[in-house]
C-alpha cells in the first residue's frame, strides 16, 4: 500500500524534524524599559489639574460667577436707585460733583433743587400723618354711599319686578363678586408666594446683566476684550481719572458716580466720537493735552486715534476719539478725479483737499494766501501741494510758474499748462528757480505800480523742495549767495518780498519743504505764509516751525502723526479752511491723486486753455547758437563784463536769454573753451577767446547749444 502512496512534497525528507521551518517570535526591544507606574494620587492630581484648568471649566466657572454677580450687582443698582429716589443723596452727589469741578453756578442750582426736594418730602410726610384718619373717613363714607346706592338700585328693581326680595339683589351680587375675588386671591396667593422671590431675583439679574454689573474677569471673552470698545461717559471719566493728574483724580473721586457731569454730550463725529470735557478747577488744559498717549491707552485706543484740542469754552478740552482702526481705512477718491466737469475759481472757490476727522469735506480757499507745506520725506507733501495746483489749474485765468527741485517728474503733467516749469536737483536748476522767483518779484513790482484798481490774474509761483534753494551754497558773480538766510541771500529775499507784498496783486508763493530746520526754512519765510500745513514731522519743535506756536499750543501735533502710516494726513492752520471755533488747526486726511490721475486732470485743465507754451529755462534759445550770439554781442571790444554780455544777450533775444544767469553764460563759454576770467576784479568775456572757440568748433552748435 505504501508504494501506492503519492507524496505531494517534492522532497519528503525535507520534513525531517531537525530541519523544520524556523518559528519567528517577537522579542521585546531590550532598550525600551517599561514605564514606571505613576502613583494613583499623582495621576488623579494631574487629571484634576487638567480638568480645572481646562478652558471649558473656566468658561463654565466664569458663567456661574457672572450670573451670580449680575444678581448681586443688580440688587446694588436697584437699592441705590431706590435710595436715590427716596432720599436727597442724588442732589448731594451732584452738588459735590459740581463743587469739585469748580462749577459753582451749577452747584447752587443743585443745592436749590435739593432743598426743594426736602421741603416736598416734608410736606408729603406731614400729609401722611393725617392721612389714616382721612382714609378711614373716606372709606366709611364711600362704603355707606356705595351701600346706599346698591340698596336704591335694589328698591328700583323690586318695584319693577314687584318682588321685595330684589331689594338686596344688587348688594348680594357685589358681595358674591367680592367673595369670588377673595377665592381667586386665595388660590393664586400660594403659588405667587412660591414664585415671587424667583421673579424678583430674575428682575434683579436682568438689571445687573443690562448694566454689565460683573467684574471684567467674569465677563465672556468677547466682552472682556475691551480693544476698541465704544466710548461711554463712564469710560471717558475713568480714563481721565487714571491720567496721572492728581487734582483731576481727586476731583473725580470726589464726584463719585457724578463724574460724567464734567462731560458734554458724546457726539458722533465722522469715523469717531467727540466730547467736550470741562475740567475741574486746578487742572490746566495742557496737562491733559500733554498726556495724549496715556489718555488714548486708557480709552483703549492708539495714540494717533485720539485728538485733544482746546475749544472756545474756558477750562475745556475737546476729545475726538476715532472708532478703533477707522483712521487706517483710506478715504475715497478726490472729487477732482471723480467729477470730470469740475472747474475752479481762484477768488471764490475752494480746493477739495480731503476730509477732516469728523468726516466732513475739507476744502481750502487759496485766494490771496501764500502757502507752505512741510513734512518728513515721502509723507505726501508733493501730492498734497499738487492736488491744490491741479484744482486751481481748472481756473483758466491762473498762471503757474513752477520749480521742482527734486525733478523726478512729479510735476511733469504741468508741461503745457504752466508758463514756466523747471525740474531738476542741480545747482543750475536751483539758480534757475531762484531767478524765476526773482522774476515774480519783478512782476509783482510791475503790478504794484499799475494804476489803482487794476485787476490782476493770479500768478502762482510754486517751489517744491524749497529747502534745496535755501541750502544752495553757490554765489553769483557779485558774491551774493543764492541760498541762505542773510540779507543778501537771493532766494530768501525774493521769497520775503513776495510774502510781504505779493498777496494784494495776486502774486503768490507756494512752497513745499522737507524736514524743516532753521537753516533750510528760515523763520521769516515760514511765518510769511498765510496757509501752513504739515504732514508727519519728527519733533514738536519742527511742528512749531511748520505751523507756528499758536497752532501747536492749541493742540496741533503733526509730530504725533505716524510717518509712513499717516501718509497724506496733514494738520492745517489757515483762515482759508473751516476750522471749528476755538480750534487753531484742522487735521485733514487728503485725497490721494496718483500721477496718472493727475495727468488726466491736467489734460482737462489744458483743454480749458488756449494753449500755453511752457518755458523750460534750459530749453530756452534751443534754435539759437549762443556762442555765435555771444560773439556778436561782444563785438569788437577786447573784453566785456559778463554782466554786460548778459544784458546785451537779453536785449538781442528776450525769449532765449532773458532768464540767463551768469551760470548759463559760463557753462556755454566753458564748454566752448572760452572761459570768462577776472580782469581788474570783475569777470569778463574775451573777444579773442570767443572768436577762437568759434573758429575751432568742429560741429557748430552741438557743443554750446543751450539745450
Ligand X SMILES: Nc1ncnc2c1ncn2[C@@H]1O[C@H](COP(=O)(O)OP(=O)(O)OP(=O)(O)O)[C@@H](O)[C@H]1O
**What distance in Å separates the CA atoms of residue 213 and residue 77, rounded to the nearest whole number?**
9
Q: Does 592 bind ligand X (CB under 6 A)?
A: yes
Among positions 555-574, residues that touch ligand X (CB under 6 A) are: 567-568
Rounded to a whole number of angstroms, the minimum distance from the CB of residue 491 to ligand X is 19
The kind and range of the H/E element at 627 are helix 626-634
483 appears as a binding residue in the annotation: no
Backbone angles phi, psi at 666, to 5 degrees: -65, -40
Q: Are 252 and 242 in contact (CB under 8 A)?
A: no
Per residue, the 3-state secondary structure of 153-174, as one string, reads: HHHHHHHHHCCHHHHHHHHHHH
534: contact with ligand X by CB under 6 A: no
Residue 326 and residue 293 in contact, taking contact as beta carbons nearer than 8 Å = no
For residues 491 and 479, give the distance between their C-alpha atoms in angstroms, rounded to a whole number: 14
What strands lie across the sheet with 682-686, from one edge to the other? Answer: 639-641, 682-686, 677-679
Q: Which is nearer to ligand X, 301 or 406 (CB)?
A: 406
Q: Which stretch binds ligand X (CB under 6 A): 252-260, 295-303, 376-384, 450-458?
A: 376-384
Reported in sequence order, the residue ranges of 543-617 that DSSP labels E, i.e. its strands, are 569-573, 586-590
Phi-psi region of 453 (alpha: psi -120 to 50; beta: other; left: phi over 0): left
Continuous segment of H or E residues that includes residue 592:
none
According to CB under 6 A, which residues from 389 to 418 bind ligand X? 406
> Quick one: which of 274, 520, 518, 506 has its CA closest to 377?
520
Nearer to ligand X, 374 or 704 (CB): 374
Q: How far is the CB of 411 from ligand X (least distance, A)?
A: 11
Answer yes or no whether residue 259 interacts with ligand X by CB under 6 A.
no
Kindly write out the interface string for residues 623-662 of this chain, putting x where it contacts ligand X by CB under 6 A and - elsewhere. ----------------------------------------
Give the nearer residue to ligand X in terms of CB position, either 282 or 333.
Answer: 333
The grid cell for 627 is 556762442
Q: Nearest to ligand X by Cβ — which residue?
A: 568
Binding ligand X (rule: CB under 6 A), the pick from 259, 272, 375, 576 is 375
In the bound complex, what is the minimum distance in angstroms from residue 417's beta carbon to ligand X? 19
Q: How far apart are the first and last CA of the chain?
A: 127
Number of residues binding to ligand X, judged by CB under 6 A: 14
Q: Which stretch binds ligand X (CB under 6 A): 373-381, 571-579, 597-605, 647-655?
A: 373-381
The backbone torsions φ and ψ at residue 686, rounded to the nearest 5 degrees and listed phi first, read -90, 130
- Identified binder of ligand X from the candidate list 355, 374, 382, 587, rule CB under 6 A: 382
470 forms part of the interface with ligand X (CB under 6 A) = no
The DSSP-derived string for 334-400 is: -HHHH-TT----TTT--EEEEEETTS-EEEE--TT--EEEEESTTSSHHHHHHHHHHHHTTSTT-EE
Q: Does the footprint of ligand X cover residue 379 (CB under 6 A)?
A: yes
Shortest distance (Å) from residue 378 CB to ligand X: 4
Q: Which is nearer to ligand X, 103 or 567 (CB)?
A: 567
Site for ligand X in 509-528 (CB under 6 A): 514
Work out which of 380, 484, 502, 626 binds ligand X, going by CB under 6 A: 380
Q: Using the CB atoms, write b or e for 52-87: b if 16+ within 10 Å.
A: eeeeeeeeeebeeebeebbbebbbebeeeeeeeeee
Cα separations (Å) of 401 from 36, 349, 436, 682? 90, 21, 8, 33
- Binding window for ligand X (CB under 6 A); candidates: 168-176, 370-378, 395-403, 677-685: 370-378
Q: Which stretch binds ligand X (CB under 6 A): 71-79, 378-386, 413-421, 603-611?
A: 378-386
- For residues 101 and 278, the answer to whether their CB atoms sit within 8 Å is yes
Closest distance to ligand X from the beta carbon of 534 (Å): 11
Element at 605 (helix H, strand E):
helix 595-608
Q: Which is nearer to ligand X, 91 or 411 (CB)?
A: 411
Among 365, 423, 489, 590, binds ligand X (CB under 6 A): 590
Number of other residues whose CB lies within 10 A of the CB of residue 470: 25
CB hemisphere CA count around 639 (13 angstroms): 11
Least distance in Å: CB of 592 to ligand X?
Answer: 3
Task: Work out how close the CB of 74 gets to ligand X at its nearest, in angstroms, rounded to a whole number.
Answer: 49
Residue among 428 and 515 whose Cβ is closer to ligand X: 515
Integer Cα distance of 257 and 364 in angstroms = 44
- Residue whose entry in the numeric block shows the C-alpha cell 432720599: 87
Of residues 381 and 499, the one with the C-beta less far from ligand X: 381
Least distance to ligand X, CB of residue 355, Å: 10
Q: Measured from the CB of residue 605, what is the shortest distance to ligand X in angstroms?
A: 19
Of 97-105, 264-272, 372-380, 466-474, the segment contacting ligand X by CB under 6 A is: 372-380
The closest alpha carbon to 626, from 699, 707, 692, belongs to 707
The CB-of-382 to ligand X minimum distance in angstroms stands at 3
Cell of 615: 518755458
Residue position matching grid coordinates 540767463: 660
Question: Rounded to 5 degrees, what angle do the CA atoms 92, 98, 104 make?
Answer: 110
Residue 251 or 373 with smaller CB distance to ligand X:
373
Nearest distance from residue 406's CB to ligand X, in Å?
Answer: 6
Cα separation of 560 and 541, whole Å?
Answer: 12
Give the closest residue to 378 by CA, choosing from 545, 587, 562, 527: 562
Which pairing describes strands 306-309 and 272-278: parallel, antiparallel, or unpaired? unpaired
Contacts to ligand X from residues 123-162, by CB under 6 A? none
Please give the DSSP secondary-structure letter assigned to residue 683: E
380 annotated as ligand-binding: yes
Task: Name which of 379 and 574 has its Cβ closer to ligand X.
Answer: 379
Nearer to ligand X, 305 or 477 (CB): 305
Stretch that binds ligand X, among 141-149, 355-363, 377-385, 607-615 (CB under 6 A): 377-385
Residue 360 vs 623, nearer CB to ligand X: 360
Q: If binding is defined by CB under 6 A, does position 307 make contact with ligand X?
A: no
377 assigned binding-site residue: yes
Report CA Rg, the chain: 46
Any contact of residue 377 with ligand X (CB under 6 A)? yes
Q: Which is nearer to ligand X, 91 or 353 (CB)?
A: 353
Shortest Cβ distance from residue 338 to ligand X (Å)? 15
Binding to ligand X (CB under 6 A): which residues in 18-77?
A: none
Looking at beta carbons only, is 333 or 582 nearer to ligand X? Answer: 333
> Which span (37-45, 371-379, 446-454, 699-707) binds ligand X, by CB under 6 A?
371-379
Q: What is the DSSP letter of 37?
A: P
Distance, in Å, from the CA atom of 542 to the CA atom of 564, rounded to the nearest integer, reads 17
**Min dist. Cβ of residue 508 to ligand X (A):** 20
Q: Which residues are annotated as a binding site for ATP?
A: 375-382
Q: Which residues are annotated as a binding site?
A: 375-382
The residues that touch ligand X, with contacts defined as CB under 6 A, are 375, 377-383, 406, 514, 567-568, 590, 592
Amino acid at each position: 500500500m505504501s508504494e501506492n502512496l503519492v507524496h505531494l512534497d517534492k522532497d519528503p525528507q525535507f520534513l525531517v524534524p531537525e530541519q523544520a521551518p524556523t518559528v519567528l517570535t517577537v522579542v521585546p526591544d531590550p532598550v525600551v524599559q517599561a514605564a514606571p507606574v505613576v502613583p494613583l494620587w499623582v495621576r488623579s492630581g494631574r487629571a484634576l489639574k487638567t480638568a480645572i484648568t481646562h478652558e471649558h471649566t473656566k468658561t463654565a466657572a466664569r458663567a456661574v460667577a457672572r450670573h451670580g454677580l449680575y444678581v448681586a450687582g443688580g440688587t446694588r443698582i436697584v437699592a441705590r436707585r431706590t435710595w436715590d429716589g427716596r432720599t436727597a443723596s442724588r442732589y448731594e452727589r451732584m452738588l459735590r460733583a459740581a463743587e469739585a469741578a469748580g462749577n459753582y453756578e451749577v452747584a447752587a442750582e443743585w443745592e436749590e433743587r435739593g432743598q426743594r426736594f426736602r421741603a416736598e418730602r416734608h410736606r408729603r410726610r406731614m400729609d401722611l400723618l393725617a392721612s389714616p384718619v382721612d382714609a378711614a373717613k373716606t372709606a366709611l363714607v364711600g362704603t355707606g354711599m356705595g351701600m346706599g346706592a346698591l340698596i336704591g338700585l335694589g328698591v328700583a328693581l323690586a318695584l319693577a319686578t314687584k318682588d321685595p326680595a330684589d331689594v338686596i339683589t344688587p348688594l348680594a351680587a357685589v358681595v358674591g363678586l367680592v367673595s369670588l375675588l377673595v377665592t381667586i386671591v386665595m388660590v393664586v396667593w400660594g403659588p405667587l408666594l412660591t414664585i415671587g422671590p424667583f421673579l424678583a431675583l430674575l428682575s434683579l439679574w436682568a438689571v445687573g446683566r443690562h448694566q454689565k454689573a460683573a467684574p471684567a474677569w467674569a465677563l465672556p471673552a468677547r466682552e472682556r476684550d475691551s480693544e476698541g470698545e465704544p466710548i461711554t461717559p463712564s469710560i471717558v471719566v475713568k480714563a481721565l481719572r487714571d491720567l496721572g493728574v492728581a487734582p483731576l483724580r481727586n476731583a473725580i473721586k470726589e464726584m463719585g458716580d457724578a463724574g460724567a457731569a464734567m462731560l458734554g454730550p458724546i457726539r458722533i463725529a465722522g469715523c469717531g466720537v467727540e466730547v467736550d470735557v470741562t475740567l475741574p478747577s486746578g487742572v490746566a488744559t495742557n496737562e491733559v493735552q500733554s498726556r495724549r498717549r496715556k489718555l488714548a491707552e486708557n480709552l483703549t485706543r492708539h495714540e494717533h486715534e485720539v485728538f485733544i484740542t482746546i475749544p472756545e469754552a474756558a477750562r475745556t478740552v475737546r476729545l475726538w476719539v476715532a472708532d478703533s482702526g477707522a483712521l487706517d481705512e483710506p478715504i475715497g477718491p478726490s472729487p477732482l478725479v471723480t467729477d470730470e466737469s469740475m472747474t475752479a475759481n481762484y477768488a471764490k472757490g475752494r480746493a477739495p483737499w480731503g476730509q477732516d476727522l469728523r468726516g466732513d469735506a475739507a476744502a481750502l480757499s487759496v485766494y490771496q494766501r501764500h502757502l507752505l507745506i512741510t513734512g518728513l520725506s515721502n509723507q505726501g507733501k508733493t501730492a498734497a501741494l499738487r492736488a491744490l495746483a491741479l484744482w486751481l489749474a481748472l481756473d483758466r485765468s491762473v498762471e503757474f510758474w513752477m520749480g521742482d527741485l527734486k525733478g523726478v517728474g512729479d510735476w511733469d503733467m504741468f508741461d503745457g499748462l504752466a508758463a514756466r516749469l523747471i525740474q531738476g536737483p542741480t545747482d543750475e536748476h536751483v539758480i534757475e528757480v531762484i531767478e524765476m522767483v526773482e522774476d515774480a518779484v519783478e512782476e509783482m513790482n510791475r503790478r504794484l505800480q499799475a494804476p489803482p484798481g487794476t485787476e490782476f490774474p493770479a500768478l502762482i509761483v510754486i517751489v517744491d523742495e524749497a529747502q534745496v534753494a535755501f541750502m544752495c551754497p553757490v554765489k553769483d558773480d557779485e558774491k551774493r549767495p543764492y541760498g541762505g538766510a542773510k540779507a543778501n541771500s537771493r532766494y530768501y529775499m525774493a521769497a520775503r518780498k513776495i510774502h510781504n507784498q505779493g498777496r494784494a496783486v495776486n502774486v503768490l508763493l507756494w512752497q513745499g519743504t522737507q524736514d524743516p530746520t532753521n537753516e533750510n526754512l528760515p523763520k521769516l519765510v515760514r511765518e510769511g505764509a498765510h496757509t501752513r500745513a504739515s504732514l508727519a514731522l519728527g519733533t514738536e519743535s519742527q511742528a512749531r516751525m511748520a505751523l507756528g506756536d499758536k497752532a501747536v499750543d492749541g493742540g496741533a501735533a503733526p509730530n504725533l502723526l505716524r510717518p509712513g502710516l499717516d501718509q497724506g494726513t496733514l494738520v492745517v492752520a489757515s483762515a482759508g479752511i473751516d476750522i471749528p471755533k476755538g480750534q487753531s488747526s484742522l487735521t485733514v486726511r487728503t485725497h490721494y491723486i496718483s500721477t496718472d490721475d493727475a495727468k488726466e486732470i491736467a489734460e482737462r485743465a489744458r483743454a480749458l486753455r488756449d494753449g500755453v507754451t511752457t518755458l523750460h529755462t534750459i530749453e530756452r534759445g534751443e534754435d539759437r547758437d549762443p556762442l555765435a550770439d555771444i560773439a556778436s554781442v561782444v563785438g569788437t571790444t577786447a573784453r566785456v563784463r559778463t554782466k554786460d554780455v548778459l544784458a546785451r544777450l537779453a536785449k538781442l533775444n528776450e525769449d532765449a536769454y532773458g532768464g540767463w544767469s551768469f551760470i548759463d553764460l559760463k557753462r556755454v563759454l566753458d564748454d566752448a573753451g572760452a572761459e570768462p576770467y577776472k580782469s581788474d576784479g570783475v569777470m569778463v568775456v574775451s573777444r579773442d577767446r570767443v572768436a577762437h572757440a568759434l573758429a575751432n568748433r568742429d560741429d557748430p552748435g552741438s557743443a554750446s547749444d543751450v539745450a
